[in-house]
Amino acid sequence: MAVYFIDYENVRVDGLKGVSKLGEDDSVCIFYSEKANTLTFGLHRRLCECKADIEYFKVATGTPNSLDFQLTSLLGFKVARDETQEYVIVSKDKGFDSTVEFWSRKKIDITRVEDITTDVQNSKNELMQEITTLIGKENATYSAAVFDAITQRKSKEGIHNFLMKELHDNKKVTELYKKIKPLLKDKS
């Protein structure tokens, strides 16, 4: 059960891979503009087969990032109505990561993926498994804090500071941080 926000201008047809597999409890908000306003027959067929509720939002453009602002506005509106829902932004635009980080800090279940087929839950489970393996069973009680640090912070320094704030133990944070370094390669 998730709400998908599609940056169609950015991902086009590829971002909607897997849409026909969504269930009636899911919903899809497709944001498109004059720059990206066409569908293939294959995508049209998949959208028609989809059991999810689908809404289309034609973006009024005229300023840079118009689509991004309108998408995040609707996201905020929907989060205000239901904080327990899972939210997924489908875009290759890493600028949305700041939105994901903002809502994640408020304990909202939100991610950014490049297409719908990305199984959000599986990737979360895989990351948690990797964390537990790296830090060892003796530190398993810290797995959730490490997971939150990695998913909610963009930089290595941010992850370290998050862990310090959560754990209040410099020695333990240093030990954990060294162990999770392989997971931080894409962090600045």
Does the residue 66 lie in any domain?
Answer: yes
pLDDT in tens, the chain (188 residues): 899 999 999 999 999 988 988 888 899 999 999 889 898 898 999 999 899 999 999 998 778 899 999 999 999 999 999 999 999 999 999 999 999 999 999 999 999 999 888 655 556 777 888 999 999 989 889 998 998 898 878 789 999 999 999 999 999 999 999 999 998 877 77
73 with 16, same domain?
Answer: yes
99 with 55, same domain?
Answer: yes
48 with 59, same domain?
Answer: yes
107 with 144, same domain?
Answer: no
Exposed, middle or buried: residue 36 (CB in 10 Å: 0-12, 13-18, 19+)?
Answer: middle
Does the residue 138 lie in any domain?
Answer: yes
Domain extent at residue 51: 2-118
Does the residue 165 lie in any domain?
Answer: yes
142 with 92, same domain?
Answer: no
Contacts of 97 (CB under 8 A, 6+ apart): 112, 154
Does the residue 44 lie in any domain?
Answer: yes
Does the residue 188 lie in any domain?
Answer: no
Q: How many domains does the chain fold into?
A: 2
